[in-house]
Structure 1
Amino acid sequence: MQAKQLFALLGGVLLTVLLGVLPAVAARSTCSVGAVEVACPRDPVGPDGRAVSDRFTFAHRPLGTEGEVVAHLASMSGVITYPPPEHTRIVEGLVPWAKAGLMVKDGLDPGSSYAAVMFTGDHGVRMQHDYVHDVAGSATGASWLRLTRSGDTITGYESADGRGWTPIGTAVLAGLPATVQVGLFVTSPGDLTLGSAGAQIRFTQASASFDQVTVSGAAEADWIGSTVGESGTTDWERLHRAAGLVAENGVLTVTGSGDIGPVGTIGGAPLERALLLGLPVLVLVVAVVAARHRGRRVVVGATGFLAGSLAAGLALPAGVVATGIAGGSVLPVDAFTWVGVIVGVALLVGAIAVLAHALRSWLLTAAVTVVPYVLALVLPAEAGDWLLRVTPAAGFAVVQTAEEYPQVLADYSPAVGYFPLPGWAGLAVTCAFAALATVRRPSPGTSGWWRSRYPDRPAAPGRPGSAAGTGHPSAGTG
């Protein structure tokens, strides 16, 4: 490649890195205690090393290595502040993933291992453990829950009458200590609305009353009400209903808010945020260079691969550092994921370089790659997802590291790093378009009819498919 083309690619790489830093600077957050600025709190980390949300109210007491807790749900209610469509008043009700039930937990530290069975606002009975695991029980009919411990094995049950029990699931919590905390918990995540103004979350709260609560396998002890994580501090809780435990006449009423589960992009920045702005720019630069290059296609693809790997390899760590300096946090991922994103971006840029070289048009390449990607960020979710499935822009999915969890309500759109196809599938779509574009076609001035009838003769001059401009295929020198 010529020196000016290499300098253009280098400029694209540097611009990608700069645009990777920009979202962190724009989203800079500060925290203070009084007049003193302090580091903003980070999300707790769960047993598998991922960022989690662990905020709830817990009525608890100790439990040994063998035992169980049983409880009957007498009632469950809640409030939702300023829900759509009017956003003008506080209403009674439960959000779909409000939770109330029984839990075994390795202490009270946020992020510690746990297993729980629960009733939910609109998803029936569930058993969940260690933040990411979720098993569905019955949709309706149950009003009793039971949670048993045998060493590291926790088993959840449900019942309609407290006598016949149906198992929901079993969790193995490796390394549980001899004494854990067991009891009743309640939490209620924010009410999420997605619109033109972005994601908006409103405070909610849930309360559950349990009676006929029994614990076996431990000495008799008083129930202790605790708020796990940063919860119970809102004006609503201070002025109207505080989070905590109320015990009266054998009924334990627990009130709380928050969530227990993996953190989505609302709770932290995904790693790929550093590429969401810069990668389309890099693709555009590479498309211009590739479309004008007259060398071998393998060279074009290899150059695109190197440009993509260099851009991703620099932009990702720069984005992480900038986010930390700005007071934010990046959702942690393992080294394998880092390498996967860098290699995926390199393959994507290489494939788009081949596509541009085959089309001989950077403008057409941009129209089928960058334009659908940009439209997907601003169009309604269904239209955007369709574009990112059936166009060469599907390959942008290689940047995704954030995971979608059915039990966590969040903004799962391309604007925050979620794509409708897995990275490998999106890359396969882009490569298929590139391969299709490279299929050799007749050169300009050569008729497909002439080649099929006279394969040994050169293309005749003049009008395609005619000799000496006569319009008759048999005329000419022969």
Structure 2
Amino acid sequence: MTATLTPPRTTARPGRGGFGQLLHAEWTKFRTVRGWVWSTVGAVLVICLVGLLATAAGNTADPQGSSALPVGPGGEAVNDSFYFVHQKLRGDGSITVSVSSLSGVVQRGPDDSGSGLAPWAKAGVVVKDSLDQGSSYAAVMVTGRHGVRMQYDYTHDIAGASGAVSQEAPQWLRLQRTGDTLTGYESADGSSWTEVGRANLSGLSAAPEVGLFVTSPSVEDETGTGTGFAPAVATGTFDEVALGGGWTGGSWASDQVGRDAGTSASYSQDTHGGATPSGGGFEVTGAGDIAPVVGGPAGSGVRTVENFLVGAFAGLVVMAVVGAGCVTVEYRRGMIGLTLAASPRRGRVLVAKGLVVGTVAFLVGVVSAAVMVPLGGQRSQAGGFPVLTVPAATELRVVAGTGLLLAAASVLALAVGALLRRAAVAVTVVVVGMVLPYLLATASVLPDGASRWLLRVTPAAGFAIQQSVGRYDQVVTVYAPSSGYFPLAPWTGLAVLCAYAGVSFAAAVVLLRRRDA
């Protein structure tokens, strides 16, 4: 009888001869090429250098550096400037007022102080934790053109139903405190009440300041060179004031909260804040705003986190050169055949290269941002520029997002390099498709509509991940790319860039498998 011998099966040990070893080999290639290593160091340096140059100038309007902005309960920079007629409320209680008029003055030039009412001028009642700027609050109010609103802790805005006010049709407002819960109401006749909204102000003090307030942000003003902002002042007439609950019973105090009108406005030359008793109520004049800071009008000098990371586009170009070179250099030197012979599964080779390049680029972005965000803030404040404070979560997203931005761009460059096999052409494609649209959109070269379109449909949308300032309907400013506002949300913009990188990478894998090395 003859026995048939079957050779034993062989299995590859994990990490040896498999993807782990391939990944290690690609990393070894990267770190042994001095040009790539020094380029990554140079990318960090160029991002920081451009950021330092962008924050080098001093603020001649504020040479003493009095640049601190108030910070709200959520950690964001805020405007908190208004005229306040107030008392203390100990425990629970309510305040009810009748607002019979809201008028305004807009100063569009040194000799032009005509009538006009800012759309977001506000007159109403407010419960505020203290007179300190940035302290927690809840308010219900009438506005210039947006009806009755309830707003609290600067970023929250709830719409009511009513419109304009007049002597013939006054608007009644009520703010009720029950523990930490504040409830706002509106009424057309003082008898039938409709709830506008409610807010929970956790940690509200036992005796907050409660009373009447008026404020008015600046108004958009078309000038010969574009959109500017004209200072505006508002005056509200409160005909009746009714108090309920734990009021102290003392006299009314009148104060300007904030030294001036903040970054959102300034008092006109002829009009300043104040309060005058009128019958059973008050006539109150004020300017400023109670709202988050979103950059301030042109000329305010407010700096944001994005200003400190303006060099990211230069570092991105450097990392695009590295990413494309990681594959094109092997074609140029005839080494790609050896690489693919050592690892016949070609798709894995490109994946390993992408992981190495993407990880290195991510670290470049994170390190650069982690250095420049605090350093840029310190330099700006020392130079007299207000710095827009953001919550810690937003700052973390910007730092990590800068790393993700560079990583996705580097992988995109790698994929385009694998498709075209020419480093110069691949880098040109990435620069034209990503960096150029970003520069054109943010440098006021193109109309706002075209700039928004570019930042939606090109890989440049990925820069939105660095945006730290949000858009608020209750804050008027120029929400355009030239002012630092991207049309897509941060993670949505990054997703557009990742989609370009993903599609390009998939195409590169398919072609690498099909065509001759």
What TM-score does the superposition give when structure 2 sets the normalisation length?
A: 0.78
For the residue of structure 2 that corresponds to 1:246, the secondary structure is strand
* Residues 1:241 and 2:271 aligned together: yes
Structure 2 contact 108–221 (Cα < 8 Å) conserved:
no
Structure 1 contact 74–209 (Cα < 8 Å) conserved:
yes
C-alpha distance in 1 between matches for 2:415 and 2:466: 25
C-alpha distance in 2 between matches for 1:230 and 1:255: 15
C-alpha distance in 2 between matches for 1:362 and 1:193: 42
For the residue of structure 1 that corresponds to 2:305, the secondary structure is coil
Of 374, 379, 386, the residue aligned with 1:322 is 379
* Residues 1:370 and 2:435 aligned together: yes
Task: Note the alpha carbon deviations across 1:271-322, whole angstroms, 9 max, x for none.
Answer: 121112x111111122223223335532333332233233323332331222
Q: CA RMSD in A?
A: 2.8
Whichever residue aligns with residue 108 of structure 2, its letter is Y
State which drifts further: 344-353 or 134-143. 134-143
Q: Which residue of 2 aligns with 1:259?
A: 289
Judging changes above 3 Å, is the alpha-carbon distance between structure 1 residues 335 and 79 closer, same or farther for their aligned structure 2 residues? closer
Q: Which residue of 2 aligns with 1:155?
A: 183
C-alpha distance in 1 between matches for 2:478 and 2:56: 21
> Any residues of structure 2 matched to 1:27-46 within 5 Å, and which?
28-29=59-60, 31=62, 38-46=64-72
Structure 2 contact 185–197 (Cα < 8 Å) conserved:
yes
Q: Which residue of 1 aligns with 2:49?
A: 18
* Residues 1:287 and 2:315 aligned together: no
Q: Which residue of 1 aligns with 2:192?
A: 164
C-alpha distance in 2 between matches for 1:305 and 1:102: 49
Judging changes above 3 Å, is the alpha-carbon distance between structure 1 residues 292 and 417 closer, same or farther for their aligned structure 2 residues? same
Instruction: Extract unaligned runs of 5+ from structure 2.
Output: 1-29, 165-169, 331-349, 418-425
For the residue of structure 1 that corresponds to 2:475, the secondary structure is coil
C-alpha distance in 2 between matches for 1:382 and 1:7: 40
Structure 2 contact 231–267 (Cα < 8 Å) conserved:
no
Of 188, 191, 202, the residue aligned with 2:216 is 188
Judging changes above 3 Å, is the alpha-carbon distance between structure 1 residues 317 and 64 closer, same or farther for their aligned structure 2 residues? closer
C-alpha distance in 1 between matches for 2:494 and 2:83: 44
Judging changes above 3 Å, is the alpha-carbon distance between structure 1 residues 335 and 363 closer, same or farther for their aligned structure 2 residues? same
> Any residues of structure 2 matched to 1:55-204 within 5 Å, and which?
55-82=81-108, 89-140=112-163, 143-193=171-221, 197=225, 200-204=228-232
Structure 2 contact 65–383 (Cα < 8 Å) conserved:
no
Task: Note the alpha carbon deviations across 1:380-433, whole angstroms, 9 max, x for none.
Answer: 222211111111111111111112111111233334432122222212211111
C-alpha distance in 2 between matches for 1:313 and 1:238: 41
* Residues 1:433 and 2:500 aligned together: yes
Q: Which residue of 1 aligns with 2:256?
A: 227
State which drifts further: 368-377 or 295-304. 295-304
Judging changes above 3 Å, is the alpha-carbon distance between structure 1 residues 93 and 385 closer, same or farther for their aligned structure 2 residues? same
For the residue of structure 2 that corresponds to 1:26, the secondary structure is coil
Instruction: Extract unaligned runs of 5+ from structure 1.
Output: 32-36, 452-457, 460-478
For the residue of structure 2 that corresponds to 1:110, the secondary structure is coil
Tell me by how many angstroms 1:60 deviates: 1.3
Q: Which residue of 2 aligns with 1:48?
A: 74
For the residue of structure 2 that corresponds to 1:82, the secondary structure is strand
Of 366, 386, 411, the residue aligned with 1:354 is 411
Tell me by how many angstroms 1:98 deviates: 0.4
Structure 1 contact 20–318 (Cα < 8 Å) conserved:
no
Q: How many residues are paired up?
A: 438
Structure 1 contact 232–243 (Cα < 8 Å) conserved:
no
* Residues 1:387 and 2:387 aligned together: no
Q: Which residue of 1 aligns with 2:340?
A: none
Task: Note the alpha carbon deviations across 1:231-262, whole angstroms, 9 max, x for none.
Answer: 379xx969633311111333410001011011
Whichever residue aligns with residue 218 of structure 2, its letter is G
Q: Which residue of 2 aligns with 1:341?
A: 398
Structure 2 contact 107–268 (Cα < 8 Å) conserved:
no
C-alpha distance in 1 between matches for 2:408 and 2:158: 40
Q: Which residue of 2 aligns with 1:401?
A: 468
Q: Which residue of 1 aligns with 2:364?
A: 307
C-alpha distance in 2 between matches for 1:245 and 1:342: 46
Q: Which residue of 2 aligns with 1:474?
A: none
Judging changes above 3 Å, is the alpha-carbon distance between structure 1 residues 12 and 53 closer, same or farther for their aligned structure 2 residues? same
The alignment-based identity, stated in percent, is 42
Whichever residue aligns with residue 438 of structure 2, its letter is Y
Judging changes above 3 Å, is the alpha-carbon distance between structure 1 residues 194 and 310 closer, same or farther for their aligned structure 2 residues? farther
State which drifts further: 120-129 or 166-175. 166-175
Judging changes above 3 Å, is the alpha-carbon distance between structure 1 residues 280 and 193 closer, same or farther for their aligned structure 2 residues? farther
C-alpha distance in 2 between matches for 1:88 and 1:317: 43
Structure 2 contact 65–382 (Cα < 8 Å) conserved:
no
State which drifts further: 72-81 or 62-71. 62-71
Whichever residue aligns with residue 286 of structure 2, its letter is G
C-alpha distance in 1 between matches for 2:234 and 2:197: 25
Tell me by how many angstroms 1:338 deviates: 3.2
Task: Note the alpha carbon deviations across 1:418-454, whole angstroms, 9 max, x for none.
Answer: 212222221221111112222148869x9x9xx9xxx
Structure 1 contact 99–120 (Cα < 8 Å) conserved:
yes
Q: Which residue of 1 aligns with 2:420?
A: none
Structure 2 contact 275–284 (Cα < 8 Å) conserved:
yes
For the residue of structure 1 that corresponds to 2:373, the secondary structure is helix
C-alpha distance in 1 between matches for 2:195 and 2:511: 69
Structure 1 moving runs of 4+ over 4 Å: 193-199, 236-239, 441-444
C-alpha distance in 1 between matches for 2:487 and 2:114: 34
Judging changes above 3 Å, is the alpha-carbon distance between structure 1 residues 242 and 287 closer, same or farther for their aligned structure 2 residues? closer
C-alpha distance in 2 between matches for 1:97 and 1:238: 17
For the residue of structure 2 that corresponds to 1:13, the secondary structure is helix
Of 213, 216, 233, the residue aligned with 1:205 is 233
Tell me by how many angstroms 1:100 deviates: 0.4
